[in-house]
Chain A
Amino acid sequence: ETAKRLRFVPGLVYIDEGAVCGQSPAQREQNLAQMEALLQETGFPYYLALELPGSVLRRGPGAAGEPCPSYKVAVEGFIQQRRQEAADGDGDTSPAGLSTQHGPGGDPAAPRARLPAAALTAELLRLFEAAETLTAKEELLQMLRSHLILHTARTRGYAKVMTGESCTRVAVKLLTNLALGRGAFLAVDTGFVDSRHGDVTLVRPMREYMAKEIAFYNHFFGVPTVITPPLSTKRREKTSIHRLMESFLLGLQVDFPSTISTVYRTGEKLSAAPAEAGSELQRCLLCLCALDIAGGECWGRGAGAGDAVPTHHPSPRRPESIAAFIPLLCYSCRLTFKEMGSPAMLPPYVRAEAQHRSCRARMKEQIQEFLLEDDEEEPGAS
Protein backbone atom coordinates (compact mmCIF):
# COMPACT_ATOMS: atom_id res chain seq x y z
CA GLU A 1 0.00 0.00 0.00
CA THR A 2 1.63 3.20 -1.13
CA ALA A 3 1.90 6.04 1.32
CA LYS A 4 -0.42 8.89 0.51
CA ARG A 5 1.80 11.58 1.86
CA LEU A 6 3.81 13.89 -0.36
CA ARG A 7 7.46 13.08 -0.17
CA PHE A 8 9.93 15.86 -0.50
CA VAL A 9 13.00 17.14 1.24
CA PRO A 10 12.33 20.54 2.71
CA GLY A 11 14.89 23.25 3.22
CA LEU A 12 14.57 25.92 5.86
CA VAL A 13 15.09 29.64 5.49
CA TYR A 14 15.66 32.06 8.28
CA ILE A 15 15.80 35.78 7.68
CA ASP A 16 17.35 37.94 10.33
CA GLU A 17 15.33 41.09 10.78
CA GLY A 18 16.97 42.05 14.02
CA ALA A 19 18.53 45.23 12.70
CA VAL A 20 15.24 46.90 11.88
CA CYS A 21 13.66 45.55 15.04
CA GLY A 22 16.11 47.38 17.20
CA GLN A 23 18.50 44.62 18.12
CA SER A 24 22.17 45.35 18.65
CA PRO A 25 24.76 43.45 16.61
CA ALA A 26 25.56 41.37 19.68
CA GLN A 27 21.93 40.42 20.13
CA ARG A 28 21.63 39.58 16.46
CA GLU A 29 24.72 37.38 16.58
CA GLN A 30 23.28 35.56 19.55
CA ASN A 31 19.95 35.23 17.83
CA LEU A 32 21.56 33.86 14.67
CA ALA A 33 23.58 31.38 16.70
CA GLN A 34 20.45 30.14 18.45
CA MET A 35 18.55 29.85 15.20
CA GLU A 36 21.41 28.06 13.56
CA ALA A 37 21.60 25.50 16.36
CA LEU A 38 17.88 24.96 16.07
CA LEU A 39 18.02 24.59 12.29
CA GLN A 40 20.96 22.23 12.43
CA GLU A 41 19.08 19.97 14.79
CA THR A 42 16.33 19.44 12.27
CA GLY A 43 18.78 17.80 9.90
CA PHE A 44 17.34 19.62 6.89
CA PRO A 45 19.36 21.96 4.69
CA TYR A 46 18.96 25.53 5.83
CA TYR A 47 19.81 28.98 4.54
CA LEU A 48 20.46 32.11 6.50
CA ALA A 49 19.87 35.33 4.62
CA LEU A 50 20.88 36.31 1.13
CA GLU A 51 21.62 39.17 -1.21
CA LEU A 52 19.24 40.29 -3.91
CA PRO A 53 19.82 40.93 -7.61
CA GLY A 54 17.30 42.91 -9.68
CA SER A 55 16.08 39.80 -11.43
CA VAL A 56 14.16 38.76 -8.34
CA LEU A 57 11.48 41.22 -9.36
CA ARG A 58 10.92 39.59 -12.71
CA ARG A 59 8.32 36.92 -12.96
CA GLY A 60 9.85 33.54 -13.53
CA PRO A 61 8.89 31.15 -16.30
CA GLY A 62 5.61 29.37 -15.74
CA ALA A 63 7.11 25.90 -15.70
CA ALA A 64 8.63 24.71 -12.45
CA GLY A 65 12.38 25.15 -12.36
CA GLU A 66 14.48 22.04 -12.27
CA PRO A 67 15.64 21.26 -8.78
CA CYS A 68 19.39 21.55 -8.38
CA PRO A 69 21.11 18.20 -8.00
CA SER A 70 23.29 19.25 -5.15
CA TYR A 71 24.07 22.15 -2.91
CA LYS A 72 27.54 22.64 -4.35
CA VAL A 73 26.17 22.89 -7.86
CA ALA A 74 23.60 25.36 -6.69
CA VAL A 75 26.26 27.50 -5.08
CA GLU A 76 28.31 27.37 -8.26
CA GLY A 77 25.31 28.41 -10.27
CA PHE A 78 24.53 31.21 -7.88
CA ILE A 79 28.08 32.50 -7.93
CA GLN A 80 28.08 32.42 -11.73
CA GLN A 81 24.84 34.31 -11.80
CA ARG A 82 26.22 36.93 -9.45
CA ARG A 83 29.33 37.35 -11.55
CA GLN A 84 27.15 37.75 -14.60
CA GLU A 85 25.07 40.37 -12.93
CA ALA A 86 28.07 42.25 -11.66
CA ALA A 87 29.32 42.30 -15.22
CA ASP A 88 25.93 43.56 -16.39
CA GLY A 89 26.28 46.47 -14.05
CA ASP A 90 23.64 45.68 -11.48
CA GLY A 91 26.29 46.75 -9.08
CA ASP A 92 25.97 46.46 -5.36
CA THR A 93 22.96 44.38 -4.69
CA SER A 94 22.52 43.83 -1.04
CA PRO A 95 19.78 46.01 0.27
CA ALA A 96 18.35 44.25 3.15
CA GLY A 97 21.55 44.06 5.11
CA LEU A 98 21.63 40.31 5.05
CA SER A 99 24.70 38.22 4.84
CA THR A 100 26.23 35.19 3.26
CA GLN A 101 24.39 31.98 2.76
CA HIS A 102 25.12 28.92 4.81
CA GLY A 103 24.81 25.34 3.83
CA PRO A 104 23.51 22.24 5.49
CA GLY A 105 25.37 21.09 8.53
CA GLY A 106 27.59 18.56 6.82
CA ASP A 107 29.47 20.93 4.55
CA PRO A 108 32.74 21.92 6.19
CA ALA A 109 33.67 24.35 3.43
CA ALA A 110 30.63 26.56 3.95
CA PRO A 111 31.42 29.72 5.92
CA ARG A 112 29.66 30.30 9.19
CA ALA A 113 26.93 32.87 8.97
CA ARG A 114 28.01 36.30 9.96
CA LEU A 115 26.24 39.59 10.15
CA PRO A 116 26.61 41.72 7.02
CA ALA A 117 28.84 44.75 6.75
CA ALA A 118 27.82 47.54 9.07
CA ALA A 119 27.54 49.89 6.09
CA LEU A 120 24.83 47.74 4.55
CA THR A 121 22.97 47.52 7.82
CA ALA A 122 23.19 51.28 8.14
CA GLU A 123 21.68 51.67 4.68
CA LEU A 124 18.86 49.37 5.63
CA LEU A 125 18.19 51.30 8.79
CA ARG A 126 18.18 54.57 6.86
CA LEU A 127 15.57 53.12 4.53
CA PHE A 128 13.38 52.20 7.47
CA GLU A 129 13.92 55.50 9.19
CA ALA A 130 12.74 57.24 6.03
CA ALA A 131 9.42 55.42 6.22
CA GLU A 132 7.07 57.85 7.89
CA THR A 133 4.53 55.52 9.40
CA LEU A 134 4.70 52.19 11.15
CA THR A 135 2.28 50.88 8.52
CA ALA A 136 4.73 51.74 5.74
CA LYS A 137 7.55 50.10 7.72
CA GLU A 138 5.58 46.91 8.16
CA GLU A 139 4.74 46.77 4.47
CA LEU A 140 8.35 47.47 3.54
CA LEU A 141 9.59 44.72 5.82
CA GLN A 142 7.13 42.24 4.36
CA MET A 143 8.15 43.20 0.87
CA LEU A 144 11.84 42.74 1.53
CA ARG A 145 11.25 39.48 3.33
CA SER A 146 9.19 38.04 0.50
CA HIS A 147 11.75 39.09 -2.09
CA LEU A 148 14.45 37.35 -0.10
CA ILE A 149 12.45 34.17 0.30
CA LEU A 150 11.64 34.18 -3.39
CA HIS A 151 15.27 34.64 -4.30
CA THR A 152 16.39 31.88 -1.96
CA ALA A 153 13.86 29.53 -3.48
CA ARG A 154 14.87 30.37 -7.01
CA THR A 155 18.60 30.04 -6.53
CA ARG A 156 18.32 26.85 -4.51
CA GLY A 157 15.97 25.26 -6.98
CA TYR A 158 12.87 25.08 -4.83
CA ALA A 159 9.60 25.20 -6.72
CA LYS A 160 7.46 25.66 -3.64
CA VAL A 161 7.70 27.75 -0.53
CA MET A 162 5.63 27.03 2.55
CA THR A 163 4.93 29.78 5.02
CA GLY A 164 3.45 29.29 8.44
CA GLU A 165 0.60 31.77 8.66
CA SER A 166 -2.00 30.62 11.14
CA CYS A 167 -5.75 31.02 10.65
CA THR A 168 -5.59 33.94 13.04
CA ARG A 169 -2.86 35.64 11.10
CA VAL A 170 -4.58 35.02 7.77
CA ALA A 171 -7.80 36.57 9.05
CA VAL A 172 -5.93 39.59 10.35
CA LYS A 173 -4.03 39.89 7.09
CA LEU A 174 -7.22 39.72 5.10
CA LEU A 175 -8.78 42.69 6.82
CA THR A 176 -5.52 44.57 7.08
CA ASN A 177 -4.87 44.23 3.37
CA LEU A 178 -8.39 45.34 2.63
CA ALA A 179 -7.71 48.50 4.61
CA LEU A 180 -4.42 48.97 2.78
CA GLY A 181 -6.06 48.97 -0.62
CA ARG A 182 -5.07 45.45 -1.61
CA GLY A 183 -8.62 44.28 -2.16
CA ALA A 184 -7.74 43.06 -5.64
CA PHE A 185 -5.11 40.71 -4.28
CA LEU A 186 -6.79 39.23 -1.22
CA ALA A 187 -6.90 35.79 -2.75
CA VAL A 188 -3.17 35.60 -3.45
CA ASP A 189 -2.21 37.34 -0.23
CA THR A 190 -4.20 35.02 2.01
CA GLY A 191 -5.20 31.99 -0.01
CA PHE A 192 -3.67 28.57 0.17
CA VAL A 193 -1.83 29.02 -3.12
CA ASP A 194 -0.01 32.15 -4.20
CA SER A 195 1.29 31.73 -7.72
CA ARG A 196 2.06 35.32 -8.64
CA HIS A 197 5.72 34.54 -9.24
CA GLY A 198 5.25 31.85 -11.85
CA ASP A 199 8.18 29.59 -11.17
CA VAL A 200 7.92 29.55 -7.40
CA THR A 201 4.60 28.77 -5.77
CA LEU A 202 3.88 29.89 -2.25
CA VAL A 203 1.58 27.75 -0.14
CA ARG A 204 0.17 28.28 3.31
CA PRO A 205 -0.49 24.88 4.83
CA MET A 206 -1.06 26.14 8.38
CA ARG A 207 -3.85 28.54 7.52
CA GLU A 208 -6.53 26.36 9.06
CA TYR A 209 -4.98 26.23 12.51
CA MET A 210 -5.72 28.93 15.01
CA ALA A 211 -2.76 30.63 16.64
CA LYS A 212 -3.98 29.29 19.96
CA GLU A 213 -3.90 25.71 18.71
CA ILE A 214 -0.40 26.14 17.38
CA ALA A 215 0.76 27.71 20.64
CA PHE A 216 -0.65 24.81 22.62
CA TYR A 217 0.93 22.30 20.27
CA ASN A 218 4.32 23.99 20.57
CA HIS A 219 4.03 23.98 24.34
CA PHE A 220 2.95 20.38 24.74
CA PHE A 221 5.49 19.04 22.28
CA GLY A 222 8.33 21.20 23.50
CA VAL A 223 8.96 22.78 20.13
CA PRO A 224 12.05 24.97 20.53
CA THR A 225 11.50 28.59 19.66
CA VAL A 226 13.59 31.68 19.31
CA ILE A 227 11.81 34.90 20.08
CA THR A 228 12.77 38.13 18.38
CA PRO A 229 11.30 41.52 19.13
CA PRO A 230 8.72 42.85 16.69
CA LEU A 231 9.11 45.81 14.41
CA SER A 232 8.40 48.74 16.63
CA THR A 233 9.84 51.64 18.46
CA LYS A 234 9.92 52.01 22.20
CA ARG A 235 8.17 55.33 22.04
CA ARG A 236 4.42 55.42 22.41
CA GLU A 237 3.51 56.01 18.82
CA LYS A 238 0.42 55.70 16.80
CA THR A 239 0.14 52.10 15.88
CA SER A 240 0.07 50.58 12.42
CA ILE A 241 -2.98 49.34 10.52
CA HIS A 242 -1.61 45.84 11.05
CA ARG A 243 -1.54 46.13 14.83
CA LEU A 244 -4.86 47.91 14.93
CA MET A 245 -6.55 45.18 12.97
CA GLU A 246 -4.97 42.47 15.10
CA SER A 247 -6.23 44.15 18.28
CA PHE A 248 -9.64 44.61 16.77
CA LEU A 249 -10.07 41.01 15.66
CA LEU A 250 -8.58 39.43 18.75
CA GLY A 251 -10.67 41.68 20.94
CA LEU A 252 -13.83 40.62 19.13
CA GLN A 253 -12.75 37.02 19.30
CA VAL A 254 -12.86 37.06 23.09
CA ASP A 255 -16.57 37.70 23.19
CA PHE A 256 -17.46 36.15 19.85
CA PRO A 257 -15.29 33.05 19.45
CA SER A 258 -16.30 32.44 15.88
CA THR A 259 -14.98 35.77 14.63
CA ILE A 260 -11.64 34.61 13.29
CA SER A 261 -12.98 31.51 11.63
CA THR A 262 -15.82 33.44 10.04
CA VAL A 263 -13.45 35.98 8.55
CA TYR A 264 -11.22 33.15 7.38
CA ARG A 265 -14.04 31.22 5.77
CA THR A 266 -15.30 34.31 4.00
CA GLY A 267 -11.81 34.85 2.64
CA GLU A 268 -11.70 31.27 1.44
CA LYS A 269 -14.47 32.06 -1.00
CA LEU A 270 -12.22 34.47 -2.86
CA SER A 271 -10.39 33.03 -5.79
CA ALA A 272 -7.46 34.48 -7.63
CA ALA A 273 -8.00 36.13 -11.00
CA PRO A 274 -6.73 33.87 -13.76
CA ALA A 275 -3.06 34.41 -14.52
CA GLU A 276 -2.63 36.99 -17.20
CA ALA A 277 0.08 37.03 -19.78
CA GLY A 278 2.39 39.04 -17.65
CA SER A 279 4.87 41.24 -19.30
CA GLU A 280 6.79 42.81 -16.46
CA LEU A 281 5.24 46.15 -17.29
CA GLN A 282 1.93 44.87 -15.99
CA ARG A 283 3.16 43.76 -12.60
CA CYS A 284 3.72 45.86 -9.55
CA LEU A 285 7.39 46.58 -8.96
CA LEU A 286 7.19 45.92 -5.24
CA CYS A 287 4.53 43.33 -4.50
CA LEU A 288 4.74 41.63 -7.88
CA CYS A 289 0.97 41.34 -8.28
CA ALA A 290 -0.79 42.31 -11.48
CA LEU A 291 -1.25 46.05 -11.65
CA ASP A 292 -4.78 46.95 -10.67
CA ILE A 293 -4.66 50.54 -11.91
CA ALA A 294 -3.59 51.75 -15.30
CA GLY A 295 -0.73 54.00 -16.25
CA GLY A 296 0.09 56.93 -14.09
CA GLU A 297 -3.37 57.64 -12.77
CA CYS A 298 -3.47 58.32 -9.10
CA TRP A 299 -6.67 57.74 -7.23
CA GLY A 300 -7.48 59.29 -3.95
CA ARG A 301 -5.85 62.38 -2.60
CA GLY A 302 -3.02 63.60 -4.77
CA ALA A 303 -0.54 63.85 -1.97
CA GLY A 304 3.15 63.62 -2.63
CA ALA A 305 5.61 65.57 -4.68
CA GLY A 306 4.60 66.33 -8.22
CA ASP A 307 2.58 63.26 -9.01
CA ALA A 308 -0.99 64.42 -8.77
CA VAL A 309 -1.44 64.85 -12.50
CA PRO A 310 -3.14 61.85 -14.01
CA THR A 311 -1.48 60.67 -17.14
CA HIS A 312 -1.78 57.63 -19.29
CA HIS A 313 1.64 57.77 -20.82
CA PRO A 314 4.83 57.19 -18.91
CA SER A 315 6.65 60.23 -20.22
CA PRO A 316 10.35 60.57 -19.59
CA ARG A 317 11.06 61.71 -16.06
CA ARG A 318 14.11 61.88 -13.90
CA PRO A 319 14.73 58.28 -12.99
CA GLU A 320 14.79 58.82 -9.27
CA SER A 321 11.70 60.97 -8.96
CA ILE A 322 8.67 59.68 -7.15
CA ALA A 323 6.62 60.25 -10.29
CA ALA A 324 8.78 57.83 -12.25
CA PHE A 325 7.91 55.03 -9.85
CA ILE A 326 4.21 55.58 -9.58
CA PRO A 327 3.18 53.95 -12.87
CA LEU A 328 5.13 50.86 -11.87
CA LEU A 329 3.19 50.27 -8.68
CA CYS A 330 -0.21 48.90 -7.76
CA TYR A 331 -2.66 51.05 -5.84
CA SER A 332 -1.67 50.03 -2.34
CA CYS A 333 2.07 49.99 -3.04
CA ARG A 334 1.67 53.56 -4.27
CA LEU A 335 0.20 54.52 -0.92
CA THR A 336 3.02 52.81 0.93
CA PHE A 337 5.58 54.26 -1.44
CA LYS A 338 4.40 57.80 -0.81
CA GLU A 339 5.18 57.31 2.86
CA MET A 340 8.65 56.02 2.23
CA GLY A 341 10.59 59.19 1.69
CA SER A 342 12.95 59.62 -1.18
CA PRO A 343 13.17 56.85 -3.81
CA ALA A 344 16.93 57.19 -3.60
CA MET A 345 16.73 55.32 -0.30
CA LEU A 346 15.25 52.24 -1.92
CA PRO A 347 17.50 49.24 -2.27
CA PRO A 348 19.67 49.25 -5.41
CA TYR A 349 17.99 46.19 -6.84
CA VAL A 350 14.59 47.89 -6.71
CA ARG A 351 15.84 51.06 -8.34
CA ALA A 352 17.66 49.10 -11.02
CA GLU A 353 14.55 47.16 -11.91
CA ALA A 354 12.45 50.33 -11.88
CA GLN A 355 14.80 51.97 -14.30
CA HIS A 356 14.77 48.90 -16.51
CA ARG A 357 10.99 48.94 -16.62
CA SER A 358 10.74 52.68 -17.21
CA CYS A 359 13.08 52.32 -20.17
CA ARG A 360 11.03 49.49 -21.58
CA ALA A 361 7.87 51.53 -21.15
CA ARG A 362 9.38 54.48 -22.98
CA MET A 363 10.62 52.25 -25.77
CA LYS A 364 7.25 50.67 -26.10
CA GLU A 365 5.63 54.07 -26.28
CA GLN A 366 7.96 55.11 -29.04
CA ILE A 367 7.25 52.10 -31.20
CA GLN A 368 3.62 51.85 -30.16
CA GLU A 369 2.19 52.72 -33.52
CA PHE A 370 4.17 50.00 -35.20
CA LEU A 371 3.08 47.26 -32.81
CA LEU A 372 0.33 44.85 -33.64
CA GLU A 373 -1.68 44.49 -30.46
CA ASP A 374 -4.16 41.73 -29.75
CA ASP A 375 -7.58 43.08 -30.41
CA GLU A 376 -9.12 43.21 -26.97
CA GLU A 377 -12.11 45.37 -27.72
CA GLU A 378 -15.55 43.97 -28.20
CA PRO A 379 -17.05 44.65 -31.58
CA GLY A 380 -19.01 47.84 -31.42
CA ALA A 381 -16.96 49.44 -28.67
CA SER A 382 -15.51 52.80 -29.61
Chain B
Amino acid sequence: GRAPNSAVRSFCFRGGAELLFDGVKKHQVTLPSQPEPWDIRNLLKWIKMNLLKERPELFMQGESVRPGILVLINDADWELMGELDYKLQDQDNVLFISTLHGG
Protein backbone atom coordinates (compact mmCIF):
# COMPACT_ATOMS: atom_id res chain seq x y z
CA GLY B 1 0.00 0.00 0.00
CA ARG B 2 0.92 3.65 -0.03
CA ALA B 3 3.19 5.02 2.70
CA PRO B 4 0.87 6.41 5.35
CA ASN B 5 2.06 9.99 5.28
CA SER B 6 2.57 10.62 1.60
CA ALA B 7 -0.29 11.81 -0.51
CA VAL B 8 -1.26 13.79 -3.52
CA ARG B 9 -2.22 17.25 -2.40
CA SER B 10 -3.72 20.07 -4.39
CA PHE B 11 -3.58 23.75 -3.64
CA CYS B 12 -4.37 26.88 -5.60
CA PHE B 13 -3.26 30.46 -5.74
CA ARG B 14 -5.48 33.40 -6.62
CA GLY B 15 -5.77 37.15 -6.37
CA GLY B 16 -2.28 37.73 -7.63
CA ALA B 17 -0.58 35.16 -5.42
CA GLU B 18 -0.11 33.03 -8.52
CA LEU B 19 2.31 35.63 -9.84
CA LEU B 20 4.79 34.33 -7.30
CA PHE B 21 4.49 30.85 -8.71
CA ASP B 22 5.09 31.42 -12.39
CA GLY B 23 1.46 32.31 -12.89
CA VAL B 24 0.37 28.75 -12.23
CA LYS B 25 -2.90 28.80 -10.32
CA LYS B 26 -3.49 25.16 -9.56
CA HIS B 27 -0.85 22.85 -8.21
CA GLN B 28 -1.06 19.17 -7.62
CA VAL B 29 1.92 17.61 -5.94
CA THR B 30 2.88 14.47 -4.12
CA LEU B 31 4.23 15.33 -0.76
CA PRO B 32 6.93 12.96 0.39
CA SER B 33 6.19 10.79 3.35
CA GLN B 34 7.78 11.91 6.56
CA PRO B 35 7.39 11.20 10.27
CA GLU B 36 5.91 14.64 10.99
CA PRO B 37 2.30 15.07 9.96
CA TRP B 38 1.50 17.21 7.00
CA ASP B 39 -0.11 20.19 8.61
CA ILE B 40 -0.38 23.64 7.03
CA ARG B 41 2.80 24.67 8.81
CA ASN B 42 4.79 21.95 7.09
CA LEU B 43 3.00 22.46 3.83
CA LEU B 44 4.09 26.10 3.84
CA LYS B 45 7.67 25.08 4.58
CA TRP B 46 7.51 22.71 1.66
CA ILE B 47 6.02 25.34 -0.65
CA LYS B 48 8.68 27.82 0.35
CA MET B 49 11.48 25.36 -0.35
CA ASN B 50 10.15 23.83 -3.51
CA LEU B 51 7.82 26.22 -5.30
CA LEU B 52 8.64 29.81 -4.47
CA LYS B 53 10.88 30.98 -7.25
CA GLU B 54 11.75 34.41 -5.95
CA ARG B 55 11.06 36.80 -3.12
CA PRO B 56 9.67 34.40 -0.52
CA GLU B 57 8.91 37.37 1.74
CA LEU B 58 6.09 38.29 -0.63
CA PHE B 59 4.27 35.09 0.32
CA MET B 60 5.51 34.15 3.74
CA GLN B 61 6.33 35.86 6.97
CA GLY B 62 8.05 33.71 9.49
CA GLU B 63 6.35 30.34 9.44
CA SER B 64 3.01 31.71 8.33
CA VAL B 65 1.69 33.46 5.28
CA ARG B 66 2.23 37.15 4.85
CA PRO B 67 -0.56 39.29 6.32
CA GLY B 68 -3.04 40.01 3.56
CA ILE B 69 -2.92 36.51 2.11
CA LEU B 70 -6.05 34.53 2.90
CA VAL B 71 -5.98 30.78 3.37
CA LEU B 72 -9.06 28.72 2.67
CA ILE B 73 -9.22 25.03 3.50
CA ASN B 74 -12.05 23.42 1.56
CA ASP B 75 -13.64 26.83 1.10
CA ALA B 76 -13.54 27.64 4.79
CA ASP B 77 -11.45 30.31 6.45
CA TRP B 78 -8.43 28.61 8.00
CA GLU B 79 -9.02 30.57 11.19
CA LEU B 80 -11.93 28.23 11.76
CA MET B 81 -9.82 25.14 11.15
CA GLY B 82 -6.83 25.71 13.38
CA GLU B 83 -4.66 27.74 11.00
CA LEU B 84 -1.13 26.35 10.89
CA ASP B 85 -2.03 23.37 13.05
CA TYR B 86 -4.65 21.98 10.74
CA LYS B 87 -3.68 18.51 9.57
CA LEU B 88 -4.19 17.89 5.88
CA GLN B 89 -6.51 15.08 4.94
CA ASP B 90 -7.34 13.26 1.77
CA GLN B 91 -9.20 15.36 -0.81
CA ASP B 92 -8.47 18.58 1.07
CA ASN B 93 -8.02 21.61 -1.11
CA VAL B 94 -6.04 24.58 0.12
CA LEU B 95 -6.54 27.94 -1.55
CA PHE B 96 -4.35 31.01 -1.07
CA ILE B 97 -5.87 34.32 -2.08
CA SER B 98 -3.84 37.48 -2.04
CA THR B 99 -5.68 40.68 -1.16
CA LEU B 100 -2.55 42.76 -1.29
CA HIS B 101 -2.19 45.77 -3.46
CA GLY B 102 1.49 45.55 -4.12
CA GLY B 103 1.49 41.90 -5.13
Please give the residue numbers on chain A whose beta carbons come within 8 Å of chain B beta carbons, in ascending order.
Answer: 168-169, 172, 211-212, 214-216, 219-220, 225, 227, 229-232, 234, 236, 239-240, 242-243, 246-247, 250-251, 253-254
Contacts and interface: CB of A to CB of B under 8 A. Distances in A.
B83 to A, nearest CB: 11
Given A227-B16, A227-B18, A232-B103, 15 more contacts: A168-B99, A169-B101, A212-B70, A215-B70, A216-B70, A216-B77, A219-B72, A219-B97, A229-B16, A229-B103, A239-B102, A243-B102, A246-B68, A250-B68, A254-B67
B14 interface: yes
Contacts of A242: 101-102
Given A219-B75, A250-B67, A250-B68, A212 B99 contact: yes
A230 B101 contact: yes
Interface of B: 14-16, 18-19, 54-55, 61, 67-68, 70, 72, 75, 77, 95, 97, 99-103
A215 B15 contact: yes
Contacts of B67: 247, 250-251, 253-254
A174 to B, nearest CB: 14
Contacts of A243: 101-102
6 contacts: A168-B99, A220-B75, A227-B16, A234-B54, A236-B55, A246-B102
Nearest to B18: A227
Contacts of A231: 102
Contact of B100 (A239, A246, A253): A246
Contacts of B97: 215, 219
B19 to A, nearest CB: 6
Given A219-B72, A220-B75, A251-B67, A232 B102 contact: yes
A216 B16 CA distance: 15
A219 B14 contact: yes
A372 B19 CA distance: 61
Contacts of B54: 234
Contacts of B19: 227, 229
Contacts of B99: 168, 211-212, 214-215
Contacts of A234: 54
B43 to A, nearest CB: 19
A69 B16 CA distance: 39
A169 B18 CA distance: 21
Contacts of B72: 219
Contacts of A214: 99
A169 B75 CA distance: 24
A240 B99 CA distance: 18
Contacts of A219: 14, 72, 75, 95, 97
B2 to A, nearest CB: 31
A230 B75 contact: no
B84 to A, nearest CB: 13
